[in-house]
Structure 1
Amino acid sequence: MKKHIITYLAIATIIVAVASCQPSSKDGQTISKEVKENGADQKIKPDDSGYADVNGLKMYYEVYGSGKPLVLLHGSFMNIPLNWSHIIPQFAKNRKVIVAEMQGHGRTKDIPREFSYENMADDVSGLLKHLKIDSVDILGYSMGGGVAFQVAVRHPEQVRRLIILSGTYKHDGWWPDVEASFATMTADMFKGSPIEKQYDSLGNDPKLFPQYVKKVLSIDLKPYDWSKEVKNIKAPIFMAIGDADGVRHEHALELFRAKGGGKMGDIHGVPKSRLAIIPGTTHIGMMQHMNWIIPMINDFLDSDLKPTPPTF
């Protein structure tokens, strides 16, 4: 009983965090994105939006801005407005930002196909072909981080650089109590939350919400381990987690070491891949501290990524 109470409180905290840091939409349609800059509200609307026919899905997407393409992949139970509304305007200043909603999320209706990171990665690949874009940078958060890893594993020619925020490449990349909590989550924990309201408002049958929750959770209820494949990804990787994240520090460090990190850069040079552990930051807090993280991401994407030679 105690374990279930703790899990319920954890989910309630997530719901409050989501509600407090994201704008709402009354009708579930694409909403204007607002961000305060220099004291003034800035609004941004997509330059393009629609549905791409990929792998049996009608995958909803939006495109903003111009420049080098950057794909944003949302977390579990999220959609474009819930996950990215306050972030899109910052990247769209000098990049083409592509955002999509994964299987069963937002405006992308579910199909009779299991939820898997591999399937969703193939969907992202199909969307890029639909948009006639050869190569992109990909930023994935939480579940989206797992999808991003799989895009780079399965479709390496389409990935230039990879940014993983609070994502895992192995099921035990989560702290043990976090991994154990997935099996205890139910639709009742989302009762009245922005997640449930968005699901209902986007034309989904409210009676199917429990099935939706169960299906989304299913991808983390079975073991997976892509360690070998992920460590062999050729694209440079920037992985960031919070110091109070659900992702184990050692999990992120293991990948960083495999990509050439874990040595004194002044002696051995700085590797192409990067690691950041953000202070005072939880899993959900990663989205709330993007004002810290976006400059790091921009520096990573804009650098030539040649290994920095030793200084002595």
Structure 2
Amino acid sequence: MKNFITISLLLFSVVAFAQSKTIVAGWTSLVQPVNVQNMQNWKFRASAKIRKENDNNSKCAIWARVDNIDDTTGFFENQAYSNIKVTSEWKTFTIEGNINSKARILNIGAFAEDNGDFYFDDFKLEVNDGKTKKWKEISLKNSGFEEDLILEKNWVEGIGRNKITHVKNFSITTSDNQPFSGKKSLLIKGQNIIGNMPHGKFADVNGIKMYYETYGEGEPLLMLHGNGQSISAFMNQVDVFSKKYKVIIVDCRERGKSTYDKTKELTFDIQVEDLKQFLDQQNIKKVKILGWSDGGILAILMALKHPDLVDKIACSGANIFPEGVTDEEFKESKETLARLIKENKDGKNDVYIDLYNLDLKYPNLKYEDLKAIRCPSLIMAGDKDVIKTEHTVKIAESIPKGQLAIIPNSTHSVVVEKPELFNSLVMDFFDDK
């Protein structure tokens, strides 16, 4: 399911962070929440100056999200997943949107993903009540970063919604290195983040270029990320598993650095073919697979379609038909898709639309189909997962060599919430002969 930035991932949909928690991740965000309850049904535009250095085609951008009174999400856009081009020269980037009738908070933020030095300056927020053509500027705290950056006071690291998160692989400071105006700008610096490493390679498979990285030696272990994620989703796993296995991590098509064919629908079947061709190219005859979310779905499908290739699978937060998610998640996904289609100006939401359609339409398996899986299969989920617990249990029960692990006090993001427990369970399962 979704791990979008709203960034869950790409949309902040399902990644859950505890208050003031330090995590390992491939992206971070800085946000300033603005109360807009007296501006409902108004228009807004948010802008900032951005540039970057020392990057390897990494992403940085501004983002905006409306949080409604009923805790649902209204408008959302993260320009990192549009066609913007950030270079070493300062450039202005702007997001325009609507503050809906249930709006409570408008979040304005800076986003950075992967390794690099990302600079932001002169954030600006304007609103228009629709009665005149005149825009009114709303004052933002420390918008030009001339004052000391006091996190949790004028800007908050994380995604808003009172969820403050420090990401270990990023530092957030002010910098006097060529600010756009004044004496300082914001600097977000990312280091040692997998998915953006110098040894990464591309493989030509099934009409796309698939990006991948390898770590360690031994039996091959393929790690598959979720819907709106990339290789960096497994930053908490690589060091542990690469001590025993040759860990191979790929960016699935239309995610991370991998390309895609816009003329072909994004489906799980086409991704399975991508993976089959990739493994053939790597001359891999037998592989273990660890999949999170949509990556878990791919692991199940690989075990069904290519049983001779798959040794074992471990899946966290996978479903085998769209209604396997909670009713609330399914309803919100449909509403979000409708809004993204409606607001899809100049194709800016094309990737989002593809990703939402993928999980709303597929896969279309039945429980009895899983009886054909021959390999040992560990089926996992958090007890507060967006996947229905009864669905996870039924999947494990339907696989002849299925094992079940419902991890307490955890969500769809158990992979990052409880990495030591998660890694131990998976390692024990893979090691068991």
Aligned ranges 1:109-188 → 2 under 5 Å:
109-111=259-261, 112-185=263-336
1:236 to 357, 373, 376: 376
Contact 2:337 2:357 in 1 (8 A): no
The change in CA–CA distance for 1:208 and 1:16 in structure 2 (over 3 A counts) is: farther
Q: What is residue 137 of structure 2 aligned with on the other side?
A: none
Aligned length: 262
Q: Distance in 1 between matches of 2:362 and 2:234?
A: 29
Q: Distance in 2 between matches of 1:118 and 1:248?
A: 23
Q: What is residue 216 of structure 1 aligned with on the other side?
A: 355
Q: What is residue 432 of structure 2 aligned with on the other side?
A: 303
**Higher RCO (CA < 8 A, seq sep 6+):** 1
Q: Return the letter of the residue paired with 1:137.
A: K
The change in CA–CA distance for 1:187 and 1:80 in structure 2 (over 3 A counts) is: farther
Q: Return the letter of the residue paired with 2:332.
A: S
The change in CA–CA distance for 1:95 and 1:12 in structure 2 (over 3 A counts) is: closer
Q: Return the letter of the residue paired with 2:390.
A: E
Q: Deviations over 1:142-198 (max 9, x none)?
A: 111111111111111110001110011122211122122211225999xxxxxxxxx
Q: What is residue 259 of structure 1 aligned with on the other side?
A: 399
Q: Deviations over 1:25-73 (max 9, x none)?
A: 97345759x89xxxxxxx7977953111111011111111001111010
Q: Distance in 2 between matches of 1:15 and 1:250?
A: 21
Q: What is residue 224 of structure 2 aligned with on the other side?
A: 73
Secondary structure of 1:280's partner?
coil
Identical-pair percentage? 26
Q: Return the letter of the residue paired with 2:286.
A: S
Q: Distance in 2 between matches of 1:55 and 1:13?
A: 30
2:386 to 246, 253, 262: 246
Q: Return the letter of the residue paired with 2:416.
A: M
Q: Distance in 1 between matches of 2:325 and 2:242?
A: 32
Contact 1:187 1:213 in 2 (8 A): no
Q: What is residue 94 of structure 1 aligned with on the other side?
A: 244
Q: Distance in 2 between matches of 1:134 and 1:47?
A: 27
The change in CA–CA distance for 1:219 and 1:24 in structure 2 (over 3 A counts) is: closer
Q: Distance in 1 between matches of 2:311 and 2:234?
A: 21
Secondary structure of 2:396's partner?
helix
Consecutive unaligned residues in structure 1, runs of 5 or more: 1-7, 36-42, 190-205, 261-271, 305-312
Q: Deviations over 1:82-102 (max 9, x none)?
A: x12232111111110000011
Tell me how far 1:15 sits from its aligned partner.
Answer: 6.0
Tell me how far 1:80 sits from its aligned partner.
Answer: 1.1
The change in CA–CA distance for 1:13 and 1:210 in structure 2 (over 3 A counts) is: closer
Q: Distance in 1 between matches of 2:276 and 2:407?
A: 30
2:25 to 22, 27, 31: 22
Contact 1:21 1:288 in 2 (8 A): no
Secondary structure of 1:72's partner?
strand
Consecutive unaligned residues in structure 2, runs of 5 or more: 1-5, 29-51, 59-113, 117-167, 170-191
Q: Distance in 1 between matches of 2:238 and 2:323?
A: 31
Larger mean Cα displacement after TM superposition, 148-157 or 239-248: 148-157
Contact 1:47 1:64 in 2 (8 A): no
Q: What is residue 413 of structure 2 aligned with on the other side?
A: 284
Q: Return the letter of the residue paired with 2:355.
A: V
The change in CA–CA distance for 1:170 and 1:113 in structure 2 (over 3 A counts) is: same
**Highest Rg: 1 or 2?**
2
Q: Return the letter of the residue paired with 1:151.
A: M
Contact 2:381 2:414 in 1 (8 A): no
TM norm structure 1: 0.75
Contact 1:244 1:280 in 2 (8 A): yes
TM norm structure 2: 0.55
